[in-house]
Amino acid sequence: MIRNPFGGRSRPIEAAGGVVVRDGAGGSEVAVVHRPRYDDWSLPKGKLAAGEGWSAAALREVEEETGFRCELARELEPVTYRDRKGRRKRVRWWLMRPLSGAFEPNDEVDELRWLGPAAAVELLDYDHDRELLAGLGL
């Protein structure tokens, strides 16, 4: 870890994730996950592994957290924010469509909900997730 002379990291933590959207009976539905470690509702994402590309990390993290193998639709605007420990974190996001799979609760995610965009925005715990989703106009 590189530190700058004024404290903190000189580079943000790098993560990638997906806004996973499927067609539901009432229109578009978005996958929102509950993480028991933090007791929060968020969009699926995670840190890049060493030597891993951004889009590969996004697909891997989404599959690990949701159980769904997805295809990339398009890259969205990246988001930078401070995490719970005050560290800068940059997340690159992709709009994704599920191809196959099924959710199984695991250590990282114990619940997944498919919600309409407005309901998903209401459930999400973080402003940066709500703003990202609301800005898509789904």
- What is the pLDDT, as a whole number, of residue 84? 85
**Which pLDDT value is given to residue 133?**
96
Q: What CATH fold (topology level) applies to the domain 13-134?
A: Nucleoside Triphosphate Pyrophosphohydrolase (3.90.79)
Looking at residue 1, what is its pLDDT?
Answer: 45
Average confidence (pLDDT) per 10 residues, the chain, 138 residues:
48 94 95 97 96 97 98 96 91 98 96 98 96 92
3-class SS letters over the chain = CCECCCCCECCCEEEEEEEEEEEECCEEEEEEEEECCCCEEECCEEECCCCCCHHHHHHHHHHHHHCEEEEEEEECCCEEEECCCCCEEEEEEEEEEEEEECCCCCCCCCEEEEECHHHHHHHCCCHHHHHHHHCCCC
Q: pTM for the whole thing? A: 0.89
